[in-house]
Structure formats: C-alpha cells, structure tokens
Structure 1
Amino acid sequence: MARAKLTFKDINLTVNAPVGARVIDISEKVGTGIIYGCREGDCGTCMMQVEEGWNNLTEPSVVEHKALKENNAGRHQRLACQAQILGDVTVRPA
C-alpha cells in the first residue's frame, strides 16, 4: 500500500499514513489537537489549516464545500473528517 508523510504541526509529529486515509483517522490515533464532533462533514468542528501539500489532499466534496462556506473557512482550510491523503501534507488545527 502506498504511503505519504502526514505532519501535524501542532504536536511536531510526522507519521507515514496510508494514501486514501482520512486526516481525522490518523489525527485520532496520534492525539493531535484536531477535534471533531461528527465525521459526516456537516458540523465543521474538525476544521484544519493546511500548511503544506494542499494539492496532496482529495478535492472537497459538495458536503464539505458547503460546510466550509458555512463556517467561513479560509483558502487553505479543510475538514479533517473529509480530506483524504494523496501525498505528503502538513496540517494544524484551525
């Protein structure tokens, strides 16, 4: 299985994550500061800032795009419950 480096800037930790994994699943395993309330893409509590590797995440779904808009997300903010890893990426809680 292909793997990519996922760096959590808030805890200064880089892990090798399977390509296709959701950021929230890896975040939960290593104990970062990204919180969540659902995993469905509706609430927006798991908003994260993508520091590097923006293009190494899947495109936002319609549901995620709606939640980002409703939460006034910035250009490089994504929902950790929706974003899947495609390559090396660095994130932190928003």
Structure 2
Amino acid sequence: MPRAKVTFQDIDVSVTVPAGTRLIEVSEKVGAGIVYGCREGECCTCLTKIISGAENFAPPSILEDQVLKDNMAPRRHRLACQAQILGGEIVVMPA
C-alpha cells in the first residue's frame, strides 16, 4: 500500500501515513494546529496552506472546490477535512 510523508510546518512534526488518509485525520493524531468546525456546521474553518506536495493530494471534489471558491480561498489551499492524501511528500501549515 502506498504511503506518504506529511510534515506539519507549524509544529515541525513529520509522520508517515497510508494513502487515502484525509489530512484532518493526521492533524488530529499529531496535535497540529489545524482547527475545524465541520461537525458544528462551520465550513472552511479547516483551510490549510499546502507549502509543497500539492500534486500528492486527490483533486478537490466538486463540493470542496465550490467551498474554496465561495470563501475566496487563496491558491494552494485545501480543506483539511476533504483533502485526501495519495502518497509522496507533503508539507502543510494552518491557514
């Protein structure tokens, strides 16, 4: 099974995770600073800047793409609750 190395620049922690993992799941496990209000109905609170490795994520879903547009998210930002890791090396930072 493919794996990926994810580095959270805000806390200087790197972990290896299986492909298919969502970024928010990794963030929760390592205690990174990505906050989220998805479960309380506050969409776009988990906006995360992709420092490097953007090509190592699955493309945004139609829903994620629309939320990013509606919130005028800057380029190279993804929703951690939606961003699915495919492999390779990724560096992220809370927006």
SS at match of 1:5: strand
1:36 is matched with: 36
How far has the Cα of 1:2 moved from its partner?
Answer: 2.1
State yes or no: 1:74 paired with 2:57: no
Q: Aligned letter for 1:92?
A: M
- Structure 1: 4+ residue segments shifted above 6 A: none
- Please provide the CA RMSD for this pair: 1.5
Q: Describe how 1:51-62 pairs up with structure 2 within 5 A.
A: 51-62=51-62
2:14 is matched with: 14
| TM score, norm. by length of structure 1 | 0.93
| TM score, norm. by length of structure 2 | 0.92
Distance across 2 between alignment mates of 1:70 and 1:43: 11
1:64 is matched with: 64
Identity %: 54
Consecutive unaligned residues of structure 2, counting only runs of 5 or more, are none
CA-to-aligned-CA distance 1:13-72 (integer Å, 9 cap, x gap): 100011110000010011011011116xx7100000000001000100010011101111
